[in-house]
Chain A
C-alpha cells in the first residue's frame, strides 16, 4: 500500500465531559476498499463518524482527506469535498418528497439525475411521495440514494442493515458491492451484523472503549485474542464474531 491514503485518522481522541469516547484512534483508508468498523455498543463508532464528517470536533488528533487536514471544517464543507454519510437512526427530510430528498443531496435542481439515483434503489415509482410515508426498508434505501447524490468518493454507512430482514440484508450486501465497483466508491461501514461484515469488507477495524484494538483482514481480526475478549468480556450486547452466518 504505497499509495497515499484517501482518508487517514491520526491519533484522534474525543472526550465528552468525563467520557473518553475516542482514545487515540488511527487508521487509513485506501481508495476503492470497503472498510468495516465494528465493536460493542458505546465503543465510539458513531462518534468516529461524527468526527470524520465534521459533526463533532476531535479533542485532539488529525483527520486527513487526501493528505489535507479537514478536522474542524463544518459538515457541509466536508460533504462538498466528497464524503457523504447515512445515519444510524435514519434522518430523512420527512416533509419533502423522495425526489426532493435526493435533490437536496444533489445541491441543484436536476430531476433526471435524481430519478436515476432513485432508480438505483428501486424507488423511482415513489419519487413524488413524501419521505415520511415510506416503509422502513425504503427509508434506508432513500437515505443511501440521498448520500450518493453528490457523487461522493467516500460513503460512510452507519448501520445500514439495522432493522432489515435477512433477505434485505443479503440484498444490501450485494448492492453495496455493486455500487462500490460501479461508482468507484470507497466505503466505510459500521454494522453490528458481524457475519455480513466478514463477507463484505476488505478490511476491518475493531473499536472498544474508544480505542482501536485490532485492524486487518476479516480472517485476521476474527482470531485476534483482544477482539474475542472485547466481545466475550461483557462490554456490550453484540454477538461475538465467531458466530457464523
Chain B
C-alpha cells in the first residue's frame, strides 16, 4: 500500500459521494411506492399517469446521478 494523502482524500470523497446515489434510490423508491399506492386505490386512472411516474423518477434520479458523477470525477478525472 502506497500513496499520498491526496489520493486518500480522493478515495474517501468518492466513497462519500457514492452515498448520494443510495439516498437518491430512497427517493426513487418513494415515488414508485406512492404511485403504486395511488394506482391500487384507483386502477382506472393509473395507466394515464405512467408518464408522470417516469418523469418523477427521472427527476429524483438526476441528483443521484450527479453524486455518481462527482464520485467518477474524483476517481478518474482529478
| A and B held together in a complex | no
User: Could you list which residues of chain A lie within 8 angstroms of chain B, going by C-beta atoms?
Assistant: none
User: Could you list which residues of chain B lie within 8 angstroms of chain A, going by C-beta atoms?
Assistant: none
